[in-house]
Amino acid sequence: MLTLMSFHGKFDLKVICKGDTYVDDHHSVEDIGIAIGEAFKNALGDKKGIRRYSNIYIPMDESLSMVAIDISNRPYLVFNAKFDTQMIGSMSTQCFKEFFRAFVNESRVTLHINLLYGENDHHKIESIFKAFARALKEGSEIVSNEIASSKGVL
């Protein structure tokens, strides 16, 4: 899913993680979310000129997701997605929300993830990650010379 995020968001991303996966994947997934969130926040600096807002709908076969983002310095996550299985590949489905929560808290963005419908859990999460990546890309695009806030700061 990180490969999808990198490709669809047009972000260079290389992750090397050594964790306590012999226990479970929770801490590693959370730490990766923290690291990517911090890198995203640092890459944007003062956020001058960014679009700030984006919302994207992405289908993956029978699944459809909508992701909306506000790159606002106000961390908040809405995660409306349910999975029928406990695992997707070797990853617990509970960890996907933990990844996004860690990303949001570290990057300080408001993120709404809504899985509108779907049947196949892999298609559901793939749709979510692609929409997330595209929303990040669009929201962080430079479109002006000003901070996108009436307060003058994000």
CATH code, domain carrying 6? 3.30.230.40
pTM of the model: 0.93
Alpha-carbon gap, residue 81 to 96, rounded angstroms = 10
Residue 33 lies in a domain: yes
Domain that holds residue 111: 1-147
Looking at the structure of the chain, the number of domains it has is 1
Cβ–Cβ under 8 Å, residues 106 and 41: yes
Q: Is residue 153 domain-resident? A: no
Q: Is 50 domain-assigned?
A: yes
pLDDT tens, N- to C-terminus, the chain (154 residues): 888 888 788 888 888 888 776 666 888 899 999 999 999 999 999 999 999 999 999 999 999 999 999 999 999 999 999 999 999 988 899 999 999 999 999 999 999 999 999 999 999 999 999 999 999 999 999 999 988 888 888 8
Residue 118 lies in a domain: yes
Angle 99-131-66 (CA atoms, 0-180°, nearest 5)?
A: 100
Assigned domain for 95 exists: yes
For residue 34, give every residue at least 6 positions away whose Cβ sits within 8 Å of its Cβ, in sequence order, or none. Answer: 102, 103, 105, 106
Helix residue ranges per DSSP H, the chain: 2-9, 26-44, 94-107, 121-139
